Amino acid sequence: MKKRFVFLSSILFFYIVSSEAQEIINQGPQPTKVKTVYKGVTDLSCGLEINFGSYGAGIDGKAFDRVMNVIQTNKLTTTSKNIGREGETRICLLLNELKGSKRKNIINQLKKIAKEGALVSLSIQ
């Protein structure tokens, strides 16, 4: 009887813990005052994510090229993930190679590109 109680208690405990963790994960990035900037990322290893969306005509190629130019010019470490069939992409920047004002300048450049682009958003951890 005691073993059964311990077993059922542990199952209940793990269920509660996992459902709370899942709730946190499902929240995802939260909006900020700036329409194109979100607080939080979908991949916790990313310092910053840039998302390119599409309504059915592909992503904003000019904004994508501008973002890639910033990444290549500053030799930033990135990964990317396709999130749709029309070129929708999520670019993950670690940003661990940048410090202080240089990091802030890069983030501001990317925010400006996101603001000027069509269906481009930026999420900061």
Task: Name the fold adopted by 28-124.
Answer: Alpha-Beta Plaits (3.30.70)
Tokens of 84: 């749709």
Q: Write out pLDDT tens, residues 35-71.
A: 888 898 988 889 999 999 998 889 999 999 999 999 9
Range of lowest pLDDT (21-35, 36-50, 76-90): 21-35
Range of lowest pLDDT (3-7, 92-96, 100-104, 109-113): 3-7
Per-domain boundaries in the chain: 28-124
Q: Which residues have C-beta within 8 Å of that of residue 29, sequence separation ≥ 6?
A: 38, 39, 40, 41, 42, 49, 123
